[in-house]
Amino acid sequence: MNKEKYLQKIKKLLNKARNNSSEHEAAAALRMAQKLMREHGVGATDVELMDITTANSKGAPSDAVKFPNYVALLANAIFDAFGIEGVISWRYTASGQPKRIIKFYGPNERPEVAAYAFDVLSRQLCRARAEFISGMRKNIKSATKTARADAYCEAWVVGVRDSLTAFACTEAEKTLMAAYKARYFASAPEASGRAVKKAKGVDDAFYAGYFDGRQVELHQGVGSAGRAASPAQIGRA
């Protein structure tokens, strides 16, 4: 039996000890749980961290090594909206191509729904960016187009973020996620993206992006008990 299976068994025993109306059965379950914890070097934190689940996005709006700042902004907007945390990372396709992803972690099913929401918004943002670029004159310099499009995307994400409601995590959840980060992502660098370059028309692009972002609707799908709804209830790309 591997460590994860022992952890599952220990957690069941501890739940039985807490919730059993029979003092004798509760005490027996607690003794068995403690015995297994000693035998397999399992600490209380190991058991508590089992309440944290993980989920990865399928991709991100950019696969650049030095990703644009709007990728980090979108990830942080999702963290706040679903009461979770995460790190910006990579996955590799079957052909060996690197793809930018977000690794989400947090209580209950919230990371799974957050990953789905991130993918939905990523696809919407990519479409909005393409449409914005297509509306620019063809004789505009490529660098200027990129700067305007980056500004548009940043503001689009800010507009979406401002329309979402931040999820109120409990102190216990915050402590648990901090412990998970310390154990599994202690060396992960802080997400910092590429800033928008100065160019003519950037301010107008920002205003347009914010307006369009405010029109986006996303059903967050998390109830007051912290349980997540199914991804289908969030929306479609």
Q: Quick one: 103 and 173 in the same domain?
A: yes
Same domain for 164 and 113: yes
Strand positions, DSSP E, the chain:
52-56, 85-92, 98-107
Tens digits of per-residue pLDDT, 154-182?
999 999 999 998 899 999 999 999 999 99
Do 157 and 73 belong together in one domain?
A: yes
Name the nearest CA neighbour of 18 among 36, 33, 39.
33
**Quick check: is 50 in a domain?**
no
The reply to whether 156 and 218 lie within a common domain is yes
| Total count of domains within the chain | 2
Does residue 227 surpass a pLDDT of 80?
A: no
Q: Is the pLDDT of residue 228 over 80?
A: no
Q: Is residue 216 part of a domain?
A: yes
- How far, in Å, CA of 79 to CA of 113, rounded? 11
Burial degree of 187 (CB within 10 A; 0-12, 13-18, 19+): exposed
Domain assignment of residue 129, given as a range: 55-233
* Whether 188 and 227 share a structural domain: yes
Confidence at residue 37, expressed as pLDDT on a 0 to 100 scale: 77
User: Does residue 72 lie in a domain region?
Assistant: yes
Residues 74 and 134 in one domain: yes
Report the predicted TM-score, pTM, of the whole model to 2 decimal places: 0.81
Inside any domain, residue 26 = yes
Give tens-digit pLDDT for 119-143: 999 999 999 999 999 999 999 999 9
Claim to verify: residue 37 and residue 64 sit in the same structural domain: no
